[in-house]
């Protein structure tokens, strides 16, 4: 049964009111079950990820706030950036790998970072209004979000930490299901380094909200939530892979079971410095 704080917006988008000024906007009928997050402050709002763009997300956002909205991507993959061009105010993390994609004020994501060919999707060129460095606190008025570098799934991946609400919006770094570390740019050494930072620098009682959920029939679904021990389990798994103590359970792609909620999918180039003969 659908919970009272979850409702369908139309026949595609589901909305969950997670807390004061925090909304999950899910796409349960999309095969990757994306979840995008709208954070509303007293003066402004931020949309973290925009979905694959198979449907326009802007009417959903407009139904939740009348404040000015900035769209920020966690990374460039097609399933997170499809509606990016529909927003007047766009922001990206100020990373060299992203700055290199901008020429004469026009930002074009290269295919190896966008991966749109997987689903026959094309990047729409845009201008970037704001470049925010790692560690920047986005002030929404009475609410701030800190930009955290979380590479592993991709080199440009970021997460957001809402210190007031004690919530980490982890994007594709951590969510229930298959974690994709077999795609171009994924790195197990980066995954482990990020996990260690999260364990060391962030509170153990924080809630972690990921960018992909699981299918639940015709219910409106829930935003995918994980906890501190899931990061610990991921860290232990990565250490065991690094040390050669954990063989994969399946070979194509290589699969490592982290716990009952998480499985890590790995490709030959993901091992990097751990297995230089396989790295690319």
For 189, phi then psi, to 5°, come to: -60, -40
**Could you tell me if residue 279 is inside a domain?**
no
pLDDT bin (cut points 50, 70, 90) of residue 164 is very high
Domain that holds residue 233: 6-274
**Could you tell me if residue 225 is inside a domain?**
yes
Residue 100's pLDDT is: 98
Beta partners for residue 158, in sequence order = 149
**Could you tell me if residue 111 is inside a domain?**
yes
pTM of the model: 0.96
pLDDT bin (cut points 50, 70, 90) of residue 1 is very low
User: Which of 4-13, 113-122, 192-201 shows the lowest mean pLDDT across its residues?
Assistant: 4-13
| 196-203: average pLDDT | 97
| pLDDT tens readout for residues 227-262 | 999 999 999 999 999 999 999 988 888 999 999 999
Using CA atoms, how far apart are residues 49 and 32, in angstroms rounded to an integer? 14
Q: Can you give the CATH number for the domain in which 131 is found?
A: 3.60.15.10
**Could you tell me if residue 201 is inside a domain?**
yes
Q: E strand or H helix at 111, and its extent?
A: helix 111-114
| pLDDT tens readout for residues 65-101 | 999 999 999 999 999 999 999 999 999 999 999 999 9
- Percentage of the chain modeled with pLDDT above 90: 91
Structurally, how many domains does the chain consist of?
1
Distance of CA 75 to the CA centre of its chain: 7
Is 60 exceeded by the pLDDT of residue 169? yes
182 with 256: CB under 8 angstroms?
no
**Could you tell me if residue 220 is inside a domain?**
yes
Using CA atoms, how far apart are residues 198 and 195, in angstroms rounded to an integer? 5
């Amino acid at each position: 049964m659908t919970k009272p704080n979850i409702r369908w917006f139309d026949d595609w988008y589901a909305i969950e009111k997670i807390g004061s000024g925090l909304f999950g906007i899910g796409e349960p009928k999309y095969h990757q079950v994306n979840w995008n997050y709208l954070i509303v402050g007293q003066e402004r709002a931020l949309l973290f990820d925009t979905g694959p763009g198979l449907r326009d997300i802007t009417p959903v956002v407009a139904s939740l706030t009348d404040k000015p909205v900035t769209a920020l991507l966690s990374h460039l993959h097609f399933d997170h950036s499809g509606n990016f061009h529909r927003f007047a105010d766009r922001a990206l993390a100020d990373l060299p790998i992203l700055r290199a994609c901008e020429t004469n004020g026009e930002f074009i994501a290269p295919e190896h970072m966008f991966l749109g060919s997987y689903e026959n999707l094309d990047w729409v060129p845009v201008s970037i209004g704001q470049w925010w460095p790692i560690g920047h606190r986005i002030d929404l008025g009475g609410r701030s979000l800190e930009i955290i570098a979380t590479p592993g799934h991709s080199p440009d991946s970021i997460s957001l930490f809402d210190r007031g609400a004690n919530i980490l919006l982890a994007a594709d770094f951590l969510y229930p299901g298959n974690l994709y570390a077999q795609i171009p740019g994924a790195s197990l050494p980066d995954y482990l380094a990020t996990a260690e930072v999260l364990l060391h620098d962030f509170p153990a009682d924080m809630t972690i909200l990921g960018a992909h959920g699981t299918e639940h029939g015709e219910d409106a679904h829930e935003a995918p939530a994980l906890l501190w021990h899931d990061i610990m389990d991921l860290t232990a798994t990565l250490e065991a892979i690094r040390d050669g103590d954990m063989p994969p359970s399946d070979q194509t792609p290589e699969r490592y079971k982290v716990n009952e909620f998480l499985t890590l999918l790995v490709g030959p180039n993901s091992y990097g410095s751990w297995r230089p003969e396989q790295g690319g």
